[in-house]
Structure 1
Amino acid sequence: MVTFEAVTKRYGSAAKSFTALDGVDMTVGRGEITGIIGRSGAGKSTLIRLVNGLEKASSGKVIVDGTEVGRLNDAGLRGLRREVGMIFQHFNLLSSRTAFDNVALPLEIAGLSRAEIKGKVEPLLDLVGLGDKAASYPSELSGGQKQRVGIARALATSPKLLLSDEATSALDPETTQSILALLKQINAELGLTVLLITHEMEVVKTIASHVAVIDQGRIVEQGCTFDVFTAPKHETTRILLSSTLGTSLPEWLRSGLKNEPSAGDRILVRLTFFGATAFQPLTARLVTEIGGDVNILAGAIEEIAGEPFGTLVVSYPAAPEIIDRANRFFAATGLSTEVLGYVA
């Protein structure tokens, strides 16, 4: 649905310029939910604004459903924007218009009759769960309800692509989950491609099938969400995910970790369960394999893009023969492991 080919975006003059995007290559598959994550200032918003022509690339190509955005004139851009809906962080509703009239606005601009508008707006308000709020003004709606109006408005022109610019960052956690569920529903029922930018890892983990990580204007890692989240390769990705996935050790234990063992020490190992290992009783089998002196120190169960993912931190004696038996067991069962260190 969307292709970025060596896209660069610079601001300022030749004498003093700032590079917001630097040679971005990326694709967004048709019918997928793709998330773009990165720190503030990494280039996320610039990237998404290139898709509907709110910004123009300094070099490279942005292609939406076969159309190169940079070659479009004003009339072409207007046509493109009818096929690319956008929802915003702060809703951008018109306070003087009801929920119905906010959703109707792009249809009025397109020249539809009042009867045609009613025939499209009412089902959209029902779709987003606001059929009973058609006559309500934005001041009478909660934040989540305002965002639902924004989503309905973005869908009014039957777009092929929906852009989401930090659409949940102004909402509380419970409301965020309801909006994410709605986006997943729209993606499934309408076959709509969704491209969202966010700094919230939970958002991507919950609904995105694919993810791209942007840092200093460059895509540093991309792929299926499950693969990127469970085995991040780039340091930026690992930092972004550090507080979202896996298990954290208490400070008193983390501060006592050593890189090399001494006599009588214990080894700390993080076990990762996913795919075929997610539902097997491997911890019990580990105890049987190396003896009963296995402590479970921390654990967590996650769901990433609908797939189970779990981590467990265990410790056992750092005696060479026990470590060797454990390693053979891990290799035979396909468990992913990481040695965190050694403790007295």
Structure 2
Amino acid sequence: MVAFEQVSKRFAAGRSSNEVVALDNVDLVVPRGSVTGIIGRSGAGKSTLIRLVNGLERPTAGRVLVDGVDVAGLGEKDLRSVRRAIGMVFQHFNLLSSRTAFDNIALPLEIAGVDRQAIEKRVTPLLELVGLSDKRDRYPSELSGGQKQRVGIARALATEPKLLLSDEATSALDPETTRSILDLLRKINKELGLTVLLITHEMEVVKTIADHVAVIDGGRIVESGPTFDVFTGHTHATTRALLGGLAGMRLPEFLTKRMSSEPHDGSRTILRVIFKGENATEPMLARLGSDLGIEVNILAGAVDEIAGRPFGMLVVSLRADAAKIAEARQFLAEHGLASEVVGYVA
């Protein structure tokens, strides 16, 4: 649905002759019908990337294709036509305070010149879709944050777009409301076959809803692919740092304070073990003790779900020499479990 082909974007840096590189030679494909997440720290280039999709910014170099059309090459008239096929959901809702929920949703249809009867037929089922049929005549000041965002989502769907862009749509919401909005976006994706491209700095959002993910850092895509594969087989330092914010993925502080990078006499090896898919619930650590005679102590961990598939991480300490540790890791690998030595503790 969207393809970035060697896209770069530079901005002038104030009055100086220097330039700020917002995006640098980005190649990325957003599969049709997918929910694709773009994740990165503040200033990484996420917002610039999404603004290129609907033509709010033009690339300095490269092409941005939306449903096969090069957005950057369009004149203003053709760009308006493309924008009608792209819905946009904002972090701070951007509702007009003087208009009811119904009229906020109707706004893009009014701008497009749709008659009132047709607007009624379009907006009423949208209110039902987002669960706000009883709020149609309420003003934004009378709605909660989650309800405002639902109005924003319905408004984005009013012109029957093929693509929905979400710009930090849940950042201003509490965790429970965030979950309900993500459930709604997934429902829209499934029922309407709508491609969703969302940007966020929250790994929890990507973990919950995205089929595919791209990690952006310093204007470059440093890692991308199916969400489960990126989360469980990440190699880039930025991805590891972002994953550290997920519950169960970080090392406990009591451990990091005592841990050293080199072994010494009597130290225990700290091993991070990754459980993927069906192996996430298998008692493999117990078998290290029964089959190999290695003493295992569980220090931290969790079993969770990423993109609908089970995933677990356990941090364990092993009392064994280097040869036995190598044997243990080989045993785990033979049973489909990844592991890495993260340090040593006395």
TM-score (norm 1): 0.95
* Structure 1 match to 2:195: 193
What amino acid maps onto 1:191 in structure 2? G
8 Å Cα contact 1:226-1:307 kept in structure 2: yes
What do the CA deviations read for 1:256-289 (whole angstroms, capped 9, x no partner)?
Answer: 2233333433222111100241232212222212
Of 299, 307, 316, 1:305 maps to: 307
1:239, distance to aligned residue in structure 2 (A):
1.4
Work out whether residues 245 and 302 of structure 1, in 8 Å CA contact, stay in contact via their aligned partners in 2. Answer: no
In structure 1, what is the equivalent of residue 96 of structure 2? 94
The 5 Å alignment of 1:55-70 reads 55-70=57-72
The AA in structure 2 aligned to 1:334 is G
Structure 1 unaligned runs (5+)? none
- Give the partner amino acid of 1:144: G
Instruction: Indicate the residue corresponding to 1:176 in structure 2.
Output: 178
Q: What residue in structure 2 maps to residue 225 of structure 1?
A: 227
Contact 1:89–1:168 at 8 Å: present in 2 too? yes
CA distance in 2, matches of 1:321, 1:50: 53
Contact 1:289 1:326 in 2 (8 A): no
Instruction: Please give the residue correspondences for 1:1-344 in structure 2 after superposition, counting only pairs within 5 Å.
Output: 1-12=1-12, 15-244=17-246, 246-291=248-293, 293-320=295-322, 322-344=324-346
CA contact (8 A) 1:63 1:69 kept: yes
Structure 2 CA distance for aligned equivalents of residues 274 and 156 of structure 1: 40
Cα contact 2:294–2:319 (8 A) shared by 1: no
Distance 1:86 1:29 in 2: 18
1:278 counterpart SS class:
helix
Aligned sequence identity (%): 65
Matching residue's letter, 1:175? T
Matched letter for residue 211 of structure 1:
V
In structure 2, C-alpha distance between the alignment counterparts of 1:16 and 1:263, rounded to whole Å: 55
Residue type of the alignment partner of 1:30: R
SS at 1:76's partner residue?
helix
1:247 and 1:298 in contact (8 A); partners too: no
Greater mean alpha carbon deviation, residues 100-109 or residues 270-279: 270-279
For residue 246 of structure 1, report the CA deviation from its aligned partner. 4.0
Distance 1:121 1:283 in 2: 55
1:184-215 CA-to-partner distances (Å, cap 9, x unmatched) read: 00000000000001111111111011111111
Partners of 1:168 and 1:294 in 2: how far apart? 40
Structure 2 Cα separation of the partners of residues 95 and 24 of structure 1? 38
What is the CA distance between 1:310 and its match in structure 2? 0.3
The verdict on how the C-alpha distance between 1:162 and 1:316 changes in structure 2, with shifts beyond 3 A counting, is same
C-alpha RMSD of the superposition? 1.7
List per-residue Cα deviations over 1:150-186 (Å, max 9, x = no partner): 0000000000000001111011111111000000000
Q: Is the 8 A contact 1:268 1:342 kept in 2?
A: yes
Q: 2 CA distance for matches of 1:211 and 1:35?
A: 5
- For residue 305 of structure 1, report the CA deviation from its aligned partner: 0.8
**8 A contact 1:289–1:329 mirrored in 2:** no
Going from structure 1 to structure 2, the CA distance change for 1:291 and 1:136 (only over 3 Å counts) comes to same
Deviation per CA, 1:23-81, whole angstroms, max 9, x where unpaired? Answer: 11111110001111111111111110111111111121111001111121111111111
C-alpha distance in structure 2 between counterparts of 1:324 and 1:6, whole Å: 42
Counterpart residue identity of residue 318, structure 1 = A
- Alpha-carbon contact 1:264-1:318 (below 8 Å) kept: no
**SS of equivalent to 2:170:** coil
1:309 Cα deviation after fit: 0.6
Give how far 1:16 is off.
2.8
Aligned partners of 1:200 and 1:247: how far apart in 2?
14
Q: Specify whether residues 96 and 297 from structure 1 end up closer, same or farther in structure 2 by C-alpha distance, changes over 3 A only.
A: same
- Provide the rounded CA distance (Å) in 2 between the counterparts of 1:261 and 1:215: 33
Deviation of the 1:8 alpha carbon? 1.3
Asked if 2 retains the 8 angstrom alpha-carbon contact of 1:20 and 1:43, the reply is yes
Matched letter for residue 131 of structure 1: S
Give the letter for the 1:293 counterpart. E
d(CA) in 2 for partners of 1:207, 1:17: 36
Q: Secondary structure at the match of 2:281?
A: coil
Whether the aligned pair in 2 keeps the contact of 1:270 and 1:314 (CA below 8 Å) is yes
Q: Can you list the C-alpha shifts for 1:225-260, whole angstroms capped at 9, x where unaligned?
A: 111111212111111212226444443332222333
Aligned residues: 344
- Residues 119-160 of structure 1: CA distance to partner in whole angstroms, max 9, x if unpaired? 010000000000100000000000000000000000000000
Q: What is the TM-score with the length of structure 2 in the denominator?
A: 0.95
